[in-house]
Amino acid sequence: MTMQNVSLKTSRLVLSLVAAGVIGGAGATLFETRHAHALGLPPAVSQPVAGAAVVTAPDFSSITERYGPAVVNISVTGTTKTAYSGGGEGGDPFGNDPFFEFFRRFQQGQGGGRMQPREVPTHGQGSGFIVSADGVILTNAHVVRDAKEVTVKLTDRREFRAKVLGADPKTDVAVLKIDAKNLPVVAIGKTSDLKVGEWVLAIGSPYGFENTVTAGVVSAKGRSLPDDSFVPFIQTDVAVNPGNSGGPLFNARGEVVGINSQIYSQTGGYQGLSFAIPIDVAGKIKDQLIAHGKVEHAQLGVAVQQVNQALAESFGMAKPEGALVASVSKGSAADRAGLQPGDVIQRINGQPIVSSSDLPAFIGLASPGDKVQLDIWRKGSGESVVAKLGGFSDKPDTVADSGMAGQGKLGLALRPLQPGEKRQAGVPGGLLVEDASGAAASAGVEQGDVLLAINGTPVQSIDQVRAMVAKSGKSVALLIQRGDNKIFVPVNLG
């Protein structure tokens, strides 16, 4: 599912989301001494803590010595159309890295005139790690994008020409294969076992400096990023530099729990926000790429938005959790299952949906044809529906941005839509906002918007709106259409 932001007031983040490859975590998860001995890792110095069990930090040198040989350097050559003319013959050594594209554009904007696009050679570097002794390697899809030739270099200095078995841009996972036997491999862990606050370690090739080790802690799990991705990222505070893309993120037991992938920055440089693809996700994508060379992602066919406190109160919910359905694509899996705008999806196959981004991440990693049970909140009570997921050719699922959050108590001057206006807006009914002031204007409702529903109930007349507002509590949820976009707007009535 494509995770695109749908908002009535589009806002751009003043930052650079850079697929530059993160490099490892910082530090180490504290764990009991007996775990270290079980792994054959020498324990570090223990410091007793009053009222707590004695813990010890893992030995990073042992993890690096044991699994460092399974981390590889990846060099890529290709061609691209570009107006950039600097960097010397062949371009810079990281020409395939979006991190450097940020600076190229900046340089052109500062001093360059208009230049005609031309085919130029590109050279990129990244990292990867061996997952099977016969030469299967995991890395980022963006590392090998547009590659004509991929070379893998091992820590013993041997080099191999690699074949790209497949790449999935939606999850940024790629699988390579080299012709070699008896290679060192990493141990694979479970991201589901990873805890916020755990120490993590990464090994990669920043700027071509092979087998560079860094460490940090897990800052958060299940992060969604505004980059059209299905991935519930692991956020860490590990240092990130170009060339680290595709490298492994280890836990303190020496198990790979993620693929270092992106940084979040306002300057284009590392600012303590790094993101890794969970290995649970990467493993599933790897299996599909090896078997079929491509990945089929599923679709539900909804646009969803966050449930904040005001919306939760409007819908009579105990907590502001779930994915609020702003619109349903006609003929989609959601439409066939009977989902409606105003439904709040609270669980999927028993798994809680806390943030709206949890839903696209779950659906996007399912397969077309899968049946899922959705527990929803509809008009003050809970219900369950079953949906058979569609394929990616269907209208994509989206996340609606709630950036905009009514005369009288609501603050809206309304009139019924004329038949021609209904046809133009593509709606069967609703009321046109002729003027907005007071509470509704403060929430972001504007002249020209179409009011479709209040608290999930479609509105057809001004008298109906008055009656519903009079019966409402401190807030109401207005379903507004502006252009082709629909979104629920919480309005605080005081």
Instruction: Pick the catalytic residue from 127, 219, 245, 332.
Output: 245
Position 66, amino acid:
R
Position 93, amino acid:
P
Q: Is 51 exposed, middle or buried (0-12, 13-18, 19+ CB in 10 A)?
A: exposed
Instruction: Pick the catalytic residue from 92, 97, 168, 172.
Output: 172
SS (H, E, C) 238-289: CCECCCCCCCEEEECCCEEEEEEEEEEECCCCCCCCEEEEEHHHHHHHHHHH
The residues, ordered by sequence, that sit 6+ positions from 493 with a Cβ below 8 Å of its Cβ are 406, 409, 410, 439, 469, 472, 473, 474, 475, 476
142 is catalytic: yes
172 is catalytic: yes
Instruction: Pick the catalytic residue from 16, 97, 127, 142.
Output: 142
235: tokens are 């956020």
The residues, ordered by sequence, that sit 6+ positions from 200 with a Cβ below 8 Å of its Cβ are 24, 25, 26, 27, 29, 215, 216, 217, 218, 236, 238, 249, 250, 251, 252, 257, 258
Angle at 311 between CA 309 and CA 316, to 5 degrees: 95
* 304 strand-pairing partners: 325, 399
Q: What is the DSSP letter of 358?
A: H
Give Cα separations from 364 to 175, 176, 297, 372, 493 (angstroms).
19, 23, 5, 12, 37
245 is catalytic: yes
| DSSP of 385-439 | EEEE-B-TTSPPPEEE--------SS-EEEEEPPHHHHHHHT-S--EEEEEE-HH
DSSP-based three-state secondary structure for 111: helix
Mind telling me the catalytic residues?
142, 172, 245
